[in-house]
Chain A
Amino acid sequence: MTDLAITASGLRKAYQDKTVLDGVDLEVEAGSIFALLGPNGAGKTTTVNILTTLTKADGGSVRVAGHDLAAEAKAVRAAIGVTGQFAAVDELLTGQENLQLMVDLSKNATPQSVAGLLERFELTEAAKKPASTYSGGMRRKLDLAMTLVGNPRIIFLDEPTTGLDPRSRRTMWTIIRDLVADGVTIFLTTQYLEEADQLADRIAVLDQGRLVAEGTADELKRRIPGTHVRLRFATAADLDAAARILPGSTKDDEGLRVPSDGGTKSLRSLLDRLDEYALGADELSVHTPDLDDVFLALTGHATEVPAK
């Protein structure tokens, strides 16, 4: 039997008459990265808030780090670290003072960890500047460094890279991988399939308060439509003609969809085939699967959620 860092069963939560979580079950192995993938409004933050004792669930039971969430919230808090969706740093304090504040409030902290964390997150130079002067990426790093002060065994990261530029995102990924190498368990939420794919050992897909799929990245990808080429034609006649000559193609509102691996060889043969019948497309685009496709495939609807 494997060691489980987090188990949740039948989590339910509603605000007034709006159901946010509708019976969510989760199991996260100790020392692994678990990604909760879903669009805005799927219930990701609510899930994190419940697992981290911020919000009470209406129903269901949760154990975190071996402690029952309802009965031993204090013990849970001592074992976890949380970095929320928006960097929660004290803007009037310097980076160093922010970390010192966490040291003063944590039982498990070692005072010398401040210098070490500043070094590790490349914040040493900015250590004595107020956090209000930090860039978005630096704030996130400081936020995560503050979370690490208490040496948590389980770390919750709510959309750790949303709004970051690609470079800062990669830095954050490296940091997250290093944490797991130290034996920490990571529970992260993300809107990006690529992020879950890059980092997570297991991925759960959350949609409108329900888990619609769970598995490794490879298992999920098998359920997603592959890369394909989209073609748009000037006339309906051309579209119909192309649909007849291209095997496996499907028509939809926006044109023609042709399965392809996106490589130059298969594109050339596709173009040759069109040439052969003297057909010309107005537009050609290669489409690789993204979260929208995952959702379409797993739920039968797109990622848009009704406006609140």
Chain B
Amino acid sequence: MNAHSIVMLRRNFKHIARNPVSVFNAVLMPIVVMLMFVYMFGDAFSVGVDYVDYATPGLMLLAVCYGLGATATAVNSDMTKGIINRFKVMDVSRGAVLTGHVVASVLTNLVAIAALLGVAFLLGFSPSASFLDWLGAVGVVVLLGFATGWLTVALGLAAKTPETAGLASVPLVMLPFFSSAIVPADKMGPGLKQFAEYQPFTPIIETLRGLLNGSPSTGTLLAALGWCAGIAVVGYLWASATFKKRA
């Protein structure tokens, strides 16, 4: 982070303060989904443990994804309204504006997850994680937010309008539902089950679940780190290329 990125981050904070609706979505929607699943469907799923303990790690990932829509829209509106071009013709470090968006996105994710965990504890969430496990879980969340943040910035840069940018991030919001976030993958039908097992979010959720249970597994952790690194690299390269090319 250089001085220019911090200026850009401050700008993003002002945007959030003045247009809080987008962030309300990012913070409130995961909580609504949590209440819905825990209260309405929780008893219907037998997952071997208290349902809120099962669902919370997956909902943490969902909370990250719900934050991305606002990021995509914000980046796109900077692009289409010519703000990014203004920065590009100034002697401003390249990409500072994008870094600002990614960092703002990750910080929004952390706020959303803190709020979600608060509600989870009220619902009886009882993790058996040690301090180090918690630290690991926060690390995974930040890494996930960073990786999907760069991918979303790329989507936002590439989209023609803020509306299509918002739409482009919808698959990222839907993907957690087709993972082990809400129900274990082996309870799903054929086809969907395989998809859920091999899609990137499942190992990330399983890693979070393991960490919060106090029984992290190295195998899923490595898969999760691999996926995050892959998404981050693709997102970053795509974003940089689009940023350079589009005027």
A positions within 8 Å CB-CB of B: 49, 52-55, 74, 77-78, 80, 82, 84, 86-93, 97, 101-102, 104-107, 130, 146, 150
Contacts and interface: CB of A to CB of B under 8 A. Distances in A.
Given A88-B81, A104-B7, A105-B92, A82 B86 contact: yes
B89 A146 contact: no
B243 to A, nearest CB: 11
A74 B19 CA distance: 34
B247 to A, nearest CB: 4
Contacts of B81: 86, 88, 91
Nearest to A149: B90
Interface in B77-109: 81-83, 85-92
Given A74-B91, A105-B7, A106-B90, A84 B14 contact: no
A150 B15 CA distance: 24
Contacts of B88: 53-54
Contacts of A86: 81-82
Contacts of A54: 85, 88-89, 247
A89 B77 CA distance: 11
A89 B247 CA distance: 16
B7, B86, B87, B92 — most chain A CB neighbours (10 Å)? B86
A101 B11 contact: yes
10 contacts: A54-B85, A84-B82, A84-B86, A86-B82, A92-B14, A101-B7, A105-B92, A106-B91, A130-B18, A150-B91
B193 interface: no
Contacts of A101: 7, 11
Interface of B: 4, 7, 11, 14-15, 18-19, 81-83, 85-92, 247
A52 B89 contact: yes
Contact of B83 (A52, A74, A88, A130): A88
Nearest to B15: A92
Contact of B90 (A49, A77, A97): A77
A49 B85 CA distance: 10
B11 A90 contact: yes
A197 to B, nearest CB: 28
A105 B87 contact: yes
A134 B73 CA distance: 22
B24 to A, nearest CB: 16
B91 A77 contact: yes
Tell me the dominant secondary structure on chain B's binding face.
Answer: helix
B83 to A, nearest CB: 5
Contacts of B89: 52-54, 77, 80, 82
A52 B82 CA distance: 14
Given A55-B247, A101-B7, A105-B90, 8 more contacts: A52-B89, A84-B82, A88-B81, A91-B81, A101-B11, A106-B91, A146-B86, A150-B90
Contacts of B86: 82, 84, 88, 146
B221 to A, nearest CB: 40
A91 B19 CA distance: 11
Contacts of B4: 105
Nearest to B11: A101
Contacts of A150: 90-91
A93 B90 contact: no
A197 B167 CA distance: 47
A78 B7 contact: no
A211 to B, nearest CB: 22
Contacts of A90: 11, 83
Contacts of A87: 82
Nearest to A78: B91
A52, A84, A105 — most chain B CB neighbours (10 Å)? A105
Contacts of A82: 85-86, 89
A15 to B, nearest CB: 11
Contacts of A89: 83
Contacts of A102: 90
Contacts of B15: 92
A74, A87, A88 — most chain B CB neighbours (10 Å)? A88
B240 to A, nearest CB: 15
Nearest to B18: A92
A102 B90 CA distance: 9
Contacts of A55: 247
A111 to B, nearest CB: 14
Nearest to B14: A93
Contacts of A80: 89
Nearest to A108: B91
A62 to B, nearest CB: 14
A80 B65 CA distance: 40
Contact of A49 (B11, B19, B91, B247): B247
A107 B85 CA distance: 18
A135 to B, nearest CB: 17
A74 B83 CA distance: 18
A257 to B, nearest CB: 43
- Nearest first, the 10 A-B pairs at minimum CB distance are A88-B82, A78-B91, A54-B247, A77-B91, A88-B86, A82-B89, A104-B7, A52-B89, A55-B247, A92-B18
